[in-house]
Structure 1
Amino acid sequence: MHVTIDVPVPLPAAAYATLLRDAVFVRFRTSVPGASVDDVVVTPTGGESFTVTVRRSVSAEQIPPQVRSFVGSELEIRQVEAWDGERDGSWHGTVALEITGTPVRLTGTVALVPSGEGALLTYDGEVRASIPLFGSAVERSAAEAVRATLAAEEVRVQAWVDVHGTPA
């Protein structure tokens, strides 16, 4: 299932790219209701390139009841974003999100581009669930869960800006 998710960012693209390199910010941003952040690792990969890895646990309530028995009461999600350096005021990279122990995965691209006084973060990719009979239902649920999580993260980013301001 193809998904495109646009997330408005209340910061200039360069300022947000700076924050994405800060593990404290990433932990704050990804600490949304219904999820616990287990680990955040930000790794420089040469020049302005970097990788952000987040591992979190969420309740299985977000997936269809008919497949909960296969995954238990909690899901571990691992998300990796590999960002290239700045190019013409924008940042681009790849994203992979997997639900550990399940055949569910999102892969695609991520872009951070200037938009008005802020920026726009766009995730574009494919959600795949290799589960006989229930695959399409799980894909739809996974896509909606990702949309809801990113919307909650948008609120967290604004909360960070309200307290810390815009990075230099």
Structure 2
Amino acid sequence: MHLSVTLDLATDAHAAGRMLADPRYVEAKVVASGAIEHQVDVTGTADEAFTVTTRRALPSDQIPAQVRGFVGNRIDVRLVEAWDAAAPDGGRTGTVVVEIAGAPVRLTGRCTLQPVGPAATRLVYDGDLHAAIPLFGSAVEEAAARAIRGALGVEQQVAAQWLADHGSAEQP
């Protein structure tokens, strides 16, 4: 199934890139997603290419009951965003991969950071979600898509608060 989610950020693209590369911001959005346990790793810098890797354990209550047996009481999610260096206007492209450990569920796609005004940037995640589970694949895909959309909705809220608190999304 195809999944596309757009987040609007009230800052310029350079500041948005600094925010996305800031481990404190990444940790804030992972914690806000309801993670029971988490790990955050950011390599590179916002001035160049950077990669954000998160691992989080989430309760499996968002998964339909008939397929919880495939994942147990919690879902271990690994997300990797590999961002290219910024263009002169601050725009960036990258790749995104989301995997659920122990379940044949994977999202692969592109992520883009697009300036749309002097203090407005659009963050777009666009990819294909696939669950290789006979009979229940489409139900798992729907549940995973809901969970991903929900996590990105939380990210929109965390980003708005982060930008309100940090202004220019300075690098540590």
Q: TM-score, normalised by structure 2?
A: 0.91
- Checking the alignment, whether the CA contact within 8 Å between 2:109 and 2:126 is kept in structure 1 is yes
CA drift at 1:88: 4.5
Structure 1 unaligned blocks of 5 or more: none
User: Which amino acid in 1 is paired with 2:107?
Assistant: L
Counterpart CA distance in 2 for 1:39 and 1:82 is 17
1:67-88, Cα deviation, whole Å (9 max, x unpaired): 1022111111000000001124
Figure out how many residues of one structure are paired with residues of the other and give that number. 168
1:63-111, Cα deviation, whole Å (9 max, x unpaired): 1111102211111100000000112421000000001111000000000
Counterpart CA distance in 2 for 1:156 and 1:63 is 24
Q: CA RMSD in A?
A: 1.7
Match of 2:169 in 1: 167
Structure 2 unaligned blocks of 5 or more: none
- Checking the alignment, whether the CA contact within 8 Å between 2:55 and 2:79 is kept in structure 1 is yes
1:14-163 to 2 correspondences below 5 Å: 14-36=14-36, 38-44=38-44, 48-89=48-89, 90-116=91-117, 117-163=119-165
User: Which amino acid in 2 is paired with 1:42?
Assistant: V
Identity of aligned residues (%): 44
Counterpart CA distance in 2 for 1:33 and 1:22 is 17
User: Which amino acid in 1 is paired with 2:93?
Assistant: H
Range that drifts further, 15-24 or 122-131? 15-24
Range that drifts further, 101-110 or 87-96? 87-96
Counterpart CA distance in 2 for 1:121 and 1:16 is 9
Counterpart CA distance in 2 for 1:55 and 1:131 is 23
Counterpart CA distance in 2 for 1:29 and 1:115 is 23
4+ runs of 1 displaced by more than 3 Å?
A: none
